[in-house]
């Protein structure tokens, strides 16, 4: 069935401020496809200098692309329901494709937004092979098995990247520090290992290897006339690749272990030297879905200038910034790598050293892009990953939830008007309505009513951004994905990572929310006050009083020392 997706402006707002360059060309009417997928030919450009390109030559690439040349991707978005969910995913797919550029941070002479606009978007039949000839690889925005990937590659005659592969590829392209590069390479290796698939050879017999070949390619393991396995016939392509991968993996793991040790020592050092009285500095980790505005928020809070960009995974290497709270206390705020649904498990494992900063933090601030139509999905993804990396339940409950990008507005709307609205009571009505919601839940109100309350909130706090069709309950009246009053059919259409009852409960318990515009500096004071308050409650938090001499570490004042001075 032909399924044409109109890429309206509201569609593209899922990652607000992401000016993905798209324009449809009506003259290129698609041939009627027999597939439910959407295919979009999409290209992007890099302006890296020759030297920079040479520096990138050693980057591990999932699909063995030439890292010096920006690839042209053909984006395939499998069909999903409901439509607004599909559109959000499609936009995310385009943003992912857009994010695979060469090194940033001063590597671009041309602003991302000022680059050439790719010529067209076409909805096509993927089996029309010539359409894919002009591209370097096909990106399918879902998780494919090794066999599926290989079969598609055979049919299409191009490398096929699935969601996991592309995300790993982006991490590789964006990692700046040695640590980030090591972790990204480890993820790429682990991913590659799972892609070494068993194939049916030309003779019809099962065989192995990336191209299905089983022939001996290395003399290693070849015996010298012995018997049985010892006299092995030498290594096949598959064995050779597996051996190379595990050798490199062991070497990377050793280096990453070293990084983890260094990080642990640094963390301990921060804790010990922190304040003037030898107390530790509390750390606040800013977490959230990719592109939610974490780096912009940390920069605004700390008066610094962290790299932020509408590319996904702009931050791969975490950064720490010190911030003074309204009470005068000093804390360290860490900007972390963004999360995404279906975050490759290889990445979570490989980035363990980095993610430890989150696990070890005294307080978490969860930043959400309140303009995202699938905000609940973003929220539940973040909860899942935090849970996966071992963040304690207490920390999740104490986590501050920030709804960012409240300044986002329809074209033609006056920003001052928008901010006035926010400041005149909308913010206070937020906590009022949240209290109502809390009491509804705790007083044993019907769960589906509670769900509606959340839905209403989504509408209310998007500053009128979400069109009514975007906020309607995607599973029909009263249907929900929390296992409440949901028919089997509705359940099957439910995106798998939709917020669960438990996560919702955690979120509701997570304390008051703050609404911010990191870009315009709105809501920052309120957030700082809340951090101040929460740190008092946080069990592990050691708080440091601001002191004009706190740059130097001085030994703690012990009683004896005090007595000695008096004498």
Give the one residue of 48, 149, 236, 295 binding Mg ion; rule: CB under 5 A.
Answer: 295
Q: Which does 290 bind (CB under 5 to 8 A by kind): Mg ion, ligand GTP, none?
A: ligand GTP
Instruction: Tell me the C-alpha distance between 297 and 292, whole Å.
Output: 9
The residue among 293 and 474 lying less far from Mg ion, judged by its C-beta, is 293
Give the one residue of 292, 418, 454, 499 binding ligand GTP; rule: CB under 6 A.
Answer: 292
The residue among 383 and 408 lying less far from ligand GTP, judged by its C-beta, is 408
The residue among 167 and 504 lying less far from ligand GTP, judged by its C-beta, is 167
Q: CA separation (Å) from 22 to 100, 115, 310?
A: 16, 12, 15
The residue among 527 and 541 lying less far from ligand GTP, judged by its C-beta, is 527
**Shortest separation between residue 55's beta carbon and ligand GTP, angstroms:** 22
**Shortest separation between residue 372's beta carbon and ligand GTP, angstroms:** 11
* Shortest-Cβ-distance residue relative to ligand GTP: 338
- Give DSSP secondary structure letters for 58-75: G---TT---TTSPPPEEE
Q: Which does 42 bind (CB under 5 to 8 A by kind): Mg ion, ligand GTP, none?
A: none
- Give DSSP secondary structure letters for 214-281: -SEEE-TT--SS--GGGG---EEHHHHHHHHHHHHHHHHHHHHHHHHHHHHHHHHHHHHHSSTTSPPP
Question: CB under 5 A: which stretch of 71-79, 308-316, 403-411, 536-544 binds Mg ion?
Answer: 308-316
Give the one residue of 37, 290, 380, 398 binding ligand GTP; rule: CB under 6 A.
Answer: 290
**Residue 295 in contact with ligand GTP, rule: CB under 6 A:** yes
Burial, 289: exposed, middle or buried (Cβ in 10 Å; 0-12, 13-18, 19+)?
buried
In 3D, which of 11, 147, 131, 32 has the Cα closest to residue 76?
131
HSE, CB side, 13 Å, CA atoms: give it for residue 38: 20
Instruction: Tell me the C-alpha distance between 31 and 547, whole Å.
Output: 70
**Shortest separation between residue 338's beta carbon and Mg ion, angstroms:** 6
Instruction: Tell me the C-alpha distance between 515 and 524, whole Å.
Output: 9
SS3 464: coil
Give the one residue of 291, 354, 376, 457 binding ligand GTP; rule: CB under 6 A.
Answer: 291
Residue carrying the six token digits 């509390």: 282
Q: CA separation (Å) from 411 to 9, 66, 95, 407?
A: 10, 40, 21, 12
**Residue 407 in contact with ligand GTP, rule: CB under 6 A:** yes
Q: CA separation (Å) from 37 to 80, 137, 165?
A: 9, 17, 19
Residue carrying the six token digits 């490759």: 344
**String marking each residue 423-462 x if it binds ligand GTP according to CB under 6 A:** ----------------------------------------
**Shortest separation between residue 370's beta carbon and ligand GTP, angstroms:** 9
Per DSSP bridges, beta strands 319-324 and 330-335 are antiparallel
**Residue 518 in contact with Mg ion, rule: CB under 5 A:** no
In 3D, which of 40, 283, 279 has the Cα closest to residue 138?
40
**String marking each residue 489-528 x if it binds ligand GTP according to CB under 6 A:** ----------------------------xxx---------
Interaction residues for ligand GTP, span 309-368 (CB under 6 A): 309-310, 312-315, 338
Q: Please report, as ranges, the residues that interact with ligand GTP according to CB under 6 A.
A: 16-17, 288, 290-296, 308-310, 312-315, 338, 404-405, 407-408, 517-519
Q: Please report, as ranges, the residues that interact with Mg ion according to CB under 5 A.
A: 294-295, 314-315
């Amino acid at each position: 069935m032909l399924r044409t997706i109109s890429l309206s402006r509201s569609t593209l707002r899922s990652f607000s401020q992401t000016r993905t360059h798209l324009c449809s060309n009506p003259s290129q009417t698609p041939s009627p496809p027999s597939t439910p997928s959407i295919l979009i030919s999409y290209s992007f450009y890099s302006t890296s200098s020759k030297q920079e390109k040479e520096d990138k030559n050693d980057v591990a690439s999932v699909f063995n692309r030439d890292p010096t040349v920006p690839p042209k991707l053909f984006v395939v978005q499998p069909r999903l329901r409901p439509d607004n969910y599909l559109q959000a995913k499609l936009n995310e797919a385009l943003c992912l494709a857009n994010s695979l550029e060469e090194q940033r941070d001063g590597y671009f002479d041309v602003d991302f937004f000022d680059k050439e606009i790719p010529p067209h978007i076409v909805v096509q039949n993927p089996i029309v092979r010539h359409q894919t000839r002009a591209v370097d690889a096909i990106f399918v925005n879902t998780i494919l098995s090794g066999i599926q990937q290989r079969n598609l590659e055979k049919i299409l005659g191009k490398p096929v990247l699935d969601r996991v592969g592309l995300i790993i590829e982006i991490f590789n392209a964006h990692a700046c520090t040695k640590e980030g590069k090591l972790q990204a390479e480890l993820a790429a290796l682990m991913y590659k290992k799972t892609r070494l698939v068993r194939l049916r050879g030309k003779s019809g017999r099962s065989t192995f290897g990336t191209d299905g070949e089983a022939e001996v390619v290395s003399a290693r393991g070849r015996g010298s006339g012995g018997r049985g396995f010892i006299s092995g016939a030498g290594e096949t392509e598959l064995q050779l690749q597996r051996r190379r991968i595990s050798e490199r993996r062991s070497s990377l793991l050793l280096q990453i272990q070293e990084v983890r040790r260094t990080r642990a020592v640094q963390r301990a050092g921060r804790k010990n030297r922190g304040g003037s009285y030898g107390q530790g500095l509390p750390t606040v980790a800013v977490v959230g879905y990719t592109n939610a505005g974490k780096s912009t928020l940390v920069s605004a809070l700390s008066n610094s200038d962290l790299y932020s960009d509408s590319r996904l995974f702009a931050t791969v290497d975490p950064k720490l910034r010190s911030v003074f709270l309204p009470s005068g206390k000093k804390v360290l705020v860490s900007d972390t790598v963004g999360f995404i649904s279906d975050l490759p498990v290889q990445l979570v494992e490989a980035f363990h050293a980095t993610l430890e900063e989150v696990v070890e933090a005294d307080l978490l601030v969860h930043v959400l892009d309140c303009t995202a139509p699938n905000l609940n999905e973003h929220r539940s993804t973040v909860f899942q990953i935090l849970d996966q990396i071992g963040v304690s339940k207490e920390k999740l409950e104490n986590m501050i939830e920030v709804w960012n990008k409240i300044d986002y507005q329809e074209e033609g709307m006056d920003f001052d008007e928008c901010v006035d609205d926010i400041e005149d009571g909308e913010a206070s009505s937020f906590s009022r309505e949240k209290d109502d919601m809390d009491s509804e839940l705790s007083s044993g109100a019907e769960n589906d009513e509670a769900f509606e309350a959340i839905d209403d909130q989504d509408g209310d706090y998007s500053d009128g951004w979400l069109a009514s069709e975007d906020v309607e309950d995607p599973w029909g009246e009263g249907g929900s994905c929390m296992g409440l009053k949901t028919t089997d059919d509705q359940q099957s259409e439910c995106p798998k990572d939709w917020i669960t009852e438990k996560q919702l409960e955690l979120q509701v318990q997570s304390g008051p929310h703050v609404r911010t515009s990191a870009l315009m500096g709105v809501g920052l004071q309120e957030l700082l006050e809340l951090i101040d308050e929460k740190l008092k409650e946080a069990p592990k938090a050691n708080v440091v009083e601001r002191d004009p001499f706190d740059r130097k570490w001085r030994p703690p004042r012990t009683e004896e020392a005090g007595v000695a001075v008096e004498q």
